[in-house]
Structures are given as C-alpha cells and as structure tokens.
Amino acid sequence: MMIAIPEILDAAALAEVRGLIDAADWIDGNATSGHQSALAKRNMQLPEDSAAAKQAGALILDALGRSPVFIAAALPLKIFPPLFNAYSGGQAFDLHVDNAIRIRRGSDFRIRSDLSATLFLEDPDAYDGGELIVEDQFGAQAVKLPAGHMLLYPASSLHRVEPVTRGRRVASFFWIQSMIRDTDARRTMFELDTAIQTIAQDRGQDDRAIIQLTGVYHNLLRRWADA
C-alpha cells in the first residue's frame, strides 16, 4: 500500500526543521549506504549523529505521533530516527530496494523495514526533477509532494529518485517496523479503520454497530500484531 499523507509538518514546524538542517554541515550520501545503494546513490546527507539531525528528527517523530492517518496506515512498532538528504546538480538515486534490516550506527537499535517514508521538505516548484518513482503492481508511480507532505510505501518496493536538474530537493527519509508484518493484513486494518471512522461521523462513536466493528478491529489486531 502506498499512501500520501498531507501536512505531517505545518508551516511553523517545517520552518523549524529547515532552520536546523540548512545551517548544518552535509556529507556524501554514501556514508550510510549498503553495497547496492552505494552503486546507485549520488546525493548529500546530514550526518545521522549530528545535533541538527537529532533535533530535526525529534520534531518529525513528534509530528508523526500526532497524525491519525500515519498511525492507522503504519501501525508503527518502531521508527528509525529520521535521516535527511539533498539532491542538486543532476544528482539522483538509481533503482534500488531498501535493506530489510536497518541498524543505527553505534547502538543496538535495529528494525525490520516494513515501510519506507519520504517526507518532502522543499517546495516542488523550487526544483526540477527529483520525483520519487515507486514500482508497484500497477507500474511505476511518480511522486513529488508539497513540502511537509509524506509518502508512505512498502520498503520492499523497487524505487528511485530522478535526477534534480534545477534547484535543490531536500527530504527526510526513514523506515518503520509495523506491528503487523503482512502487507495485506496491514492494508485490511487500515481500510477497516477508515470505514469505521467514516461511518462513525454519521452514527456517532456510541452507535452499537460502531462499537461492534471497533471490537472486530481490535480482535484482528490481537490476532495479527507482533507487539
């Protein structure tokens, strides 16, 4: 399941994140690459252990915790601390798949990467190119979202970033280990939760059918969740 989530960061939070990372020193993006990614990636990255990355990442994690759509779609168990990259001058990231296990350097923190997330941090009119291309069962999907909006998609997907030919594309990226490993089961839970919330707007949360459906949701979560 691929889903665009609007306004993870509002204008004030976006400005605060950009203020932190724009003032920091950036390094070659391959500092955190696996072998396959190192062959494909040409970009710049904020060192993950830098103060700016940690502070900006904490702001993003706080924002994710306030997003009902993100919680419902990802059912997160663990979130890898957000990282930051930038593309300019023809830089790109060729076709690749993300590592199944992500380990934070210098720690014992690790996650299974069920979902990948790209949080766009630059106005799309400020740069040419830079589309995130994700291949799914419907073919290649090109995504270029407004600043503050985020794309959530399966980490198992083949994907790439098109060359940036004008301006600078800035984004945060990270991975999520979901409480529900199975993609189809996770999609079912999201669709059920969305339907419950839609019906509840008409009937109210105290409607008996809504309560029963909520019970079905939580019983499925008990069956499928690894928490």
98 is in an annotated binding site: yes
Q: Nearest-CA neighbor of 73 among 197, 160, 167, 157?
A: 197
35 is in an annotated binding site: no
159 is in an annotated binding site: yes
169 is in an annotated binding site: yes
Distance CA 189, CA 203 (A): 21
Residue 2 phi, psi dihedral angles, 5° rounding: -115, 130
C-beta neighbour count of 181 within 10 angstroms = 14
Distance CA 26, CA 192 (A): 42
Q: Which two tokens stand for residue 135?
A: 């291949």
Residues with Cβ < 8 Å from 72, sequence gap 6 or more? 189, 190, 193, 194
Residues with Cβ < 8 Å from 58, sequence gap 6 or more? none
| Residue list, annotated binding site | 96, 98, 159, 169
Annotated binding site for Fe cation: 96, 98, 159
Binding site listing for 2-oxoglutarate? 169
